[in-house]
Amino acid sequence: MTGDNFNNYGTNNGHIGPVNNYGKQEFQLTPEVLRSLLTLDKTEVIRLAYVSTRRSEQIAYQIADFLVQNGYTVDGMRGVGHLMPPLRKPIEMRLGMLCVDASV
């Protein structure tokens, strides 16, 4: 018989074979994520803030470009050292600002 051979001893909770846990995956700005931003109110001026990492800044500028191309008004972009409490998601609206933290 060819293929992988796994010995099961005790409780394996449904897992047979290796479990590959690579940890938290890096946030990716996908077309689906960008499209989800099209639910923002076009009558509002969008202000952006990014938690000061170079990657968060790059993503914030990509978001700004995308919003402008889709008829939104983007006014202002600022980097912040940290947010309290921290963001729960990589992109979150907080206090009237669209905040970006790629490390979340």
Tell me: the pLDDT tens digits for 2-45?
Answer: 555 555 555 656 656 666 667 777 899 999 999 999 999 999 99
Domain extent, residue 67, equals 31-100
Tell me: the pLDDT tens digits for 74-97?
Answer: 998 999 888 888 899 999 999 889
Classify residue 40: in a domain, yes or no: yes
* pTM of this structure: 0.75
Classify residue 11: in a domain, yes or no: no
Residue whose structure tokens are 């989800």: 36
Classify residue 2: in a domain, yes or no: no
Classify residue 20: in a domain, yes or no: no
Classify residue 6: in a domain, yes or no: no
Q: Alpha helices of 1-104 — where are they, by DSSP H? A: 31-36, 54-69
Classify residue 25: in a domain, yes or no: no
Classify residue 41: in a domain, yes or no: yes
The pLDDT confidence band at residue 63, using thresholds 50, 70 and 90, is very high
Between the two ends of the chain, the Cα-to-Cα distance in Å is 45
The per-residue b/e assignment along 67-81, b for 16 or more CB within 10 angstroms, e otherwise, is: beeeebebeebeeee
Our count of domains for the chain comes to: 1
Classify residue 82: in a domain, yes or no: yes
Predicted local distance difference test score (pLDDT) of residue 1: 46
